[in-house]
Structure 1
């Protein structure tokens, strides 16, 4: 299958190594466990970064169903 035909193909992503304390990982894992379904650490951290950027007005959140008010 050609990747360009896959609508969920993820492009233009960069990887980083992120150092966090064991206590921070524990807090993240507790927050993940409180949500319904399975949420990976990567997804949880990505959402947290997106929420912070949106809150600071650095980027517009383009997730489906999310509406900007104001």
Structure 2
């Protein structure tokens, strides 16, 4: 499956993200556990990258299983 990048998405773009106060508190708590000063934006960006990598890995495993069993 090929996913084309919409014309409106640039290499680096800005979005508005609505999160509950509880979610912000949880993010801030995790940020405080890390050494240095990690911004919310950096933390959220890292979390998204981890999720994308996990899903890509799961897709790869499903594809390997389909090929080897099919």
TM more than 0.5: yes
Which has the bigger relative contact order, CA under 8 A and spacing at least 6? 2
The TM tier, using the shorter chain, reads 0.5 to 0.7
Displaced runs of 4+ in structure 1, greater than 4 A?
Answer: none
Gap runs ≥5 in structure 2? 1-9, 58-70
- The RMSD of aligned alpha carbons is 1.5
Deviations 1:13-32 (Å, cap 9, x if unpaired)?
Answer: 01000000000000000000
Give the number of the structure whose residues are more often helix, by fraction: 2
Matched pairs, number: 48
After TM superposition, the score normalised by the length of structure 2 is 0.65
After TM superposition, the score normalised by the length of structure 1 is 0.65
Gap runs ≥5 in structure 1? 1-10, 59-70
